[in-house]
């Protein structure tokens, strides 16, 4: 998010504007009104008597609405403005703006209100990659509306603009001449309705009525969402605000793809990724499972319904493969991008099984788990039949779409994210280490589901054996003995790609690490090369490609750290997990409770505050889920049969934590934890003042 921008969003639809509420998009920026990957407004500029306005204040406390308090410039600090303007804007199934002018003078005012409007209908990929349009624009002016449209063969998009007060419309916007009495006000409702015409049917989003008709249901929906989540009590005020920010942002990021009624799962992030991403939706659902388990349920059903069923090299679809990303814009419709949907990832398929098992452990919803059994079985088959591209028992990736497919198909998917210590890039296929951990965990969890839910004992025995074999081979083939850590990847010939990365923390989460190797892994994760003081870096300082502001080569990713903390807890390193949690929550304070997608990997002693990464998404789903998973790790929440088990390890600076009414198979239950008065961190534990 660019400094000075204001975001308003509601899942499928979002607005990015300046602090005056204006939109004046260039071809390369993300300003505008977007819905289903298309920009329906690229210009929306308000002027009063030909003059643009100054921002006094912005109220954006609700994710789906903002209020902009404005005034014309007077040219002097000694002359007071006698007119003020309030724009109240709400997003959700469209765009509504309540425009109010207030005359503070003792004389009447004659005012010319002008809104310049236009739509370039840019696909998000066109904005990101500066691709030109190939279709035809049209403007149709009526006595009470302006219709702006775009068509390319059967692909149509339209924006309809209306006003509740009489206005003069032209192809470039609308004009209203207003007479306002002394100490009086005037209001009009401006409505923008977006329309998708494609795939053989017309989808028209509902038009707003008068102000407040939409906002009230949305506010009520948000209230129910927050009330249904566990209640947090803590000594640390900033943690309370971060927790609430996470819940609100998760509500805002709920995406309703047109794949069936009632489907709602987390979109990946604003502005580039307001779409369904398989990996992101799964990990966010895992993070949020103890708080909002319904996200996991819809994620499992929706991703299962879109699971790969055939071989398609362009989309990189394979039977059983869970999608990477689905888009609804022009470039996907004309196959200029493969995202309709695109399946180019090597991790979401195994993670799907992990989420399904964790969901059952937490909720006891065996009905849904049985409904998803065909998807999970197909996912497990994909691991062996398609994920193992070299026939060596390891999941690896190599794109089949050489033109537009992703080179790296793990979560670190930028082109140079996987490298040797000396900076060389390995060849393909690449078998990154965390993929093997995910596959191990999927087989282990799949065996449990087969044994206790699907009643397939033969499958359970086979998966158990395969998981044990994979763990044994992995701990030998990936281990760098002179470094005491696991290689980030294997080349096709078995050569170990030897850079030190945060990926090793995901191995602890999966459980694939032999216990006697765990201590060495933890030393690296918490050592100065990887741990910045604000969190674990993606790539260790000292590696050739290390860059504290490199997307996957030295930045700190909050979601990555939440998974690492979960892994540390799994292997019994409770205080180290608490240290990671404390660092992340400290960082959250500097971002007003909203952790971004990533931030710079500078050492904490160097910056004293976390430095923003310039193009990070915010809000971003799995960063939004990070504080939730950190609460789970600090309280040591886990399931044991029908019971919730807690084993708290709360950082001293946080003090007391109570999480009340945690939903699960037990109904609702509370968990408590309190930080001890430790003063210093040494090795594996916090040291008390009286300890010698």
> Which pLDDT tens digit goes with each residue over 111-131?
999 999 999 999 988 876 666
Same domain, 207 and 238: no
Last residue of a domain, one of 157, 181, 216: 216
The answer to whether residue 222 sits within a structural domain is no
Please give the angle made by the CA atoms of 605, 609 and 615, to the nearest 5 degrees: 120
Same domain, 265 and 138: no
Q: Give φ, ψ of 14 to 5 degrees.
A: -150, 155
Last residue of a domain, one of 216, 248, 281: 216
**Cα distance between residue 361 and residue 638, in whole Å:** 9
**Cα distance between residue 288 and residue 632, in whole Å:** 9
- 650, two tokens: 């709360």
Same domain, 202 and 282: no
In angstroms, the Cα distances linking 204 to 156, 192, 213, 297 are 12, 12, 18, 28
In angstroms, the Cα distances linking 635 to 200, 337, 655 are 51, 44, 12
The answer to whether residue 221 sits within a structural domain is no
Using an 8 Å Cβ cutoff, are 337 and 315 in contact? no
In angstroms, the Cα distances linking 459 to 351, 361, 370 are 19, 19, 15
pLDDT in tens, 503-530: 999 999 999 999 999 999 999 999 999 9
pLDDT in tens, 442-485: 999 999 999 999 999 999 999 999 999 999 999 999 999 999 99
The answer to whether residue 145 sits within a structural domain is yes
Cα separation of the two ends of the chain: 49
Q: Give φ, ψ of 432 to 5 degrees.
A: -75, 155
What is the per-residue pLDDT for 687? 38
The answer to whether residue 673 sits within a structural domain is yes
Lowest-confidence segment of 216-220, 312-316, 421-425, 559-563 by average pLDDT? 216-220
* Residues above pLDDT 90, as percent of the chain: 77
The answer to whether residue 594 sits within a structural domain is yes
**Cα distance between residue 518 and residue 577, in whole Å:** 14
More confident call, 251 vs 364? 364
Same domain, 400 and 441: yes
Same domain, 308 and 403: yes
What is the per-residue pLDDT for 128? 67
What is the per-residue pLDDT for 64? 86
What is the per-residue pLDDT for 681? 40
* Domain that includes residue 304, residue range: 229-687
Q: For 105-110, what is the mean pLDDT?
A: 95
CATH of the domain at 88: 2.70.98.40
What is the per-residue pLDDT for 131? 66
CATH of the domain at 316: 1.50.10.10
Helices (H), 453-552: 457-477, 503-510, 515-526
Q: For 660-664, what is the mean pLDDT?
A: 97
What is the per-residue pLDDT for 271? 73
Model confidence at 7: pLDDT above 80: no
Same domain, 167 and 296: no
pLDDT tier for residue 615 given thresholds of 50, 70 and 90 = confident
Please give the angle made by the CA atoms of 495, 501 and 502, to the nearest 5 degrees: 135
What is the per-residue pLDDT for 93? 67
pLDDT in tens, 554-589: 999 999 999 999 999 999 999 999 999 999 999 999
Please give the angle made by the CA atoms of 338, 343 and 346, to the nearest 5 degrees: 140
Same domain, 195 and 257: no
Model confidence at 11: pLDDT above 60: yes
Using an 8 Å Cβ cutoff, are 455 and 414 in contact? no
Q: For 188-213, what is the mean pLDDT?
A: 62
**Cα distance between residue 258 and residue 346, in whole Å:** 25
What is the per-residue pLDDT for 262? 59
The answer to whether residue 223 sits within a structural domain is no
- Of 61, 49, 55, the C-alpha closest to 8 is 61
In angstroms, the Cα distances linking 390 to 431, 476, 492, 511, 520 are 10, 18, 7, 24, 30
Same domain, 454 and 522: yes
Using an 8 Å Cβ cutoff, are 234 and 240 in contact? yes
What is the per-residue pLDDT for 676? 67
What is the per-residue pLDDT for 219? 79
Same domain, 179 and 300: no
Same domain, 272 and 202: no
What is the per-residue pLDDT for 60? 76
Number of domains in the chain: 2
Q: Give φ, ψ of 39 to 5 degrees.
A: -90, 110
Same domain, 19 and 44: yes
The answer to whether residue 457 sits within a structural domain is yes
Last residue of a domain, one of 188, 216, 244: 216
**Cα distance between residue 660 and residue 674, in whole Å:** 15
pLDDT tier for residue 246 given thresholds of 50, 70 and 90 = very high
**Cα distance between residue 273 and residue 617, in whole Å:** 8
Computed over every residue of the chain, the mean pLDDT equals: 90
**DSSP letter for each residue of 622-682:** HHHTHHHHHHHHHHT-EEETTEEE------TTT-EEEEEEEEETTEEEEEEEE-----EEE
The answer to whether residue 1 sits within a structural domain is no
Using an 8 Å Cβ cutoff, are 418 and 425 in contact? yes
Same domain, 137 and 79: yes
């Amino acid at each position: 998010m660019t400094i000075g921008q204001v975001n308003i969003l509601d899942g499928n639809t979002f607005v990015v504007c300046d602090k005056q509420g204006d939109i004046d998009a260039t071809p390369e920026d993300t300003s505008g009104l977007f819905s289903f990957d298309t920009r329906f407004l690229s210009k929306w500029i308000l002027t009063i008597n030909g003059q643009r306005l100054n921002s006094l204040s912005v109220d954006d406390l609700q994710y789906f609405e903002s209020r902009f308090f404005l005034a014309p410039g007077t040219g002097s600090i000694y002359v007071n403005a006698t007119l003020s303007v309030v724009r109240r804007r709400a997003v959700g199934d469209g765009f509504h703006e309540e425009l109010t002018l207030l005359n503070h003078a003792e004389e009447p005012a004659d005012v010319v209100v002008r809104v310049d409007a236009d739509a370039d209908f840019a696909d998000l990929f066109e904005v990101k990659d500066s691709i030109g349009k190939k279709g035809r624009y049209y403007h149709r002016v009526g006595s009470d509306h302006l219709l702006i449209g775009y068509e390319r063969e059967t692909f149509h998009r339209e924006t309809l603009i209306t006003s509740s007060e009489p206005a003069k419309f032209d192809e470039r916007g609308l004009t209203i001449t207003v007479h306002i009495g002394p100490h009086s006000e005037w209001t009009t409702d401006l409505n923008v309705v977006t329309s998708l015409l494609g795939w053989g049917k017309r989808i028209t989003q509902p038009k707003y009525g008068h102000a407040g008709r939409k906002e009230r249901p949305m506010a009520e929906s948000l209230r129910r969402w927050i009330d249904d989540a566990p209640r947090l009590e803590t000594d640390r005020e900033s943690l309370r605000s971060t927790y609430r920010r996470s819940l609100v942002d998760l509500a805002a990021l709920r995406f309703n793809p047109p794949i069936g009624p009632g489907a709602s799962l987390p979109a990946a992030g604003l502005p580039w990724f307001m779409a369904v991403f398989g990996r992101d939706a799964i990990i966010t659902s895992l993070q949020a499972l103890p708080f909002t388990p319904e996200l996991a349920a819809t994620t499992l059903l929706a991703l299962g319904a879109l699971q790969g069923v055939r071989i398609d090299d362009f989309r990189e679809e394979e039977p059983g493969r869970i999608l990477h990303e689905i888009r609804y814009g022009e470039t996907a419709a004309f196959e200029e991008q493969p995202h309709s949907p695109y399946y180019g990832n090597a991790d979401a398929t195994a993670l799907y099984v992990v989420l399904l098992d964790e969901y059952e452990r937490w909720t006891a919803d065996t009905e849904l788990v049985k409904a998803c059994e065909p998807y999970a079985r197909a996912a497990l088959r994909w691991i062996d039949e398609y994920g193992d591209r070299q026939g060596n028992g390891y999941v690896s990736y190599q794109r089949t779409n050489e033109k537009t497919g992703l080179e790296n198909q793990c979560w670190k998917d930028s082109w140079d994210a996987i490298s040797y210590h000396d900076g060389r890039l390995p060849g393909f296929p690449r078998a990154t280490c965390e993929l093997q951990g995910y596959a191990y965990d999927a087989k282990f969890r799949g065996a449990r589901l087969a044994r206790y839910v699907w009643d397939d004992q033969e499958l359970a025995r086979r998966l158990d054996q395969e998981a044990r074999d994979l763990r044994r081979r992995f701990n030998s083939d990936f281990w760098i003995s002179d470094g005491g850590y696991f290689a980030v990847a294997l080349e096709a010939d078995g050569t170990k790609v030897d850079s030190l990365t945060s990926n090793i923390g995901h191995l602890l989460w999966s459980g694939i690490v032999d216990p006697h190797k765990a201590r060495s892994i933890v030393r690296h994760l918490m050592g100065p090369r990887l741990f910045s003081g604000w969190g674990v870096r993606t790539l260790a300082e000292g590696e050739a490609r290390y860059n504290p502001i490199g997307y996957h080569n030295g930045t700190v990713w909050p979601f990555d750290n939440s998974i690492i903390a979960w892994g540390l807890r799994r292997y019994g390193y409770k205080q180290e997990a608490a240290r990671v949690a404390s660092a992340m929550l400290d960082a959250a304070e500097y971002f007003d409770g909203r952790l971004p997608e990533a931030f710079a990997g500078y050492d904490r002693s160097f910056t004293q505050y976390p430095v923003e990464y310039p193009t990070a998404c915010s809000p971003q789903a799995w960063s939004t889920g990070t504080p939730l998973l950190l609460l789970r790790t600090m309280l040591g929440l886990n399931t044991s049969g029908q019971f919730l088990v807690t084993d708290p390890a709360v950082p001293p600076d946080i003090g007391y934590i109570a999480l009340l009414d945690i939903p699960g198979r037990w109904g609702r239950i509370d968990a408590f934890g309190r930080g001890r008065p430790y003063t210093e961190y040494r090795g594996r534990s916090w040291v008390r003042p009286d300890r010698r």
